[in-house]
Amino acid sequence: MTSIDARRRITADRRDFNHYRVRCPFCDEVVGPRFVTREHLDVQPSAPYAATVRCPRCREEFEVIFAAGS
């Protein structure tokens, strides 16, 4: 059974993400809303609950899950 890289899913505060204070888990580049490739609107509690992001530097794709209450 293949193990999924734990860096592909990170948790962050939505405000930090919106203000480009979240770092790529692969290369430490700062990412934010401009680099979203998909918003996960179908997951509760509030939309968007998560977003798929592609890092502009290393081109790795990962999911940012917004912390509860953010």
Q: pLDDT digit string (tens) for 14-63?
A: 999 999 999 999 999 999 999 999 887 765 655 568 899 999 999 999 99
Q: Which residue has the higher pLDDT, 62 or 2?
A: 62
In a domain, 24, yes or no: yes
Domain of residue 61 covers 6-66
Percent of the chain as helix, strand, coil, to the nearest 5:
15, 35, 50
In a domain, 1, yes or no: no
**CA distance linking residue 63 with residue 35, whole number of Å:** 11
In a domain, 48, yes or no: yes
Note the pTM of the prediction, 2 decimals: 0.80
Count of domains observed in the chain: 1
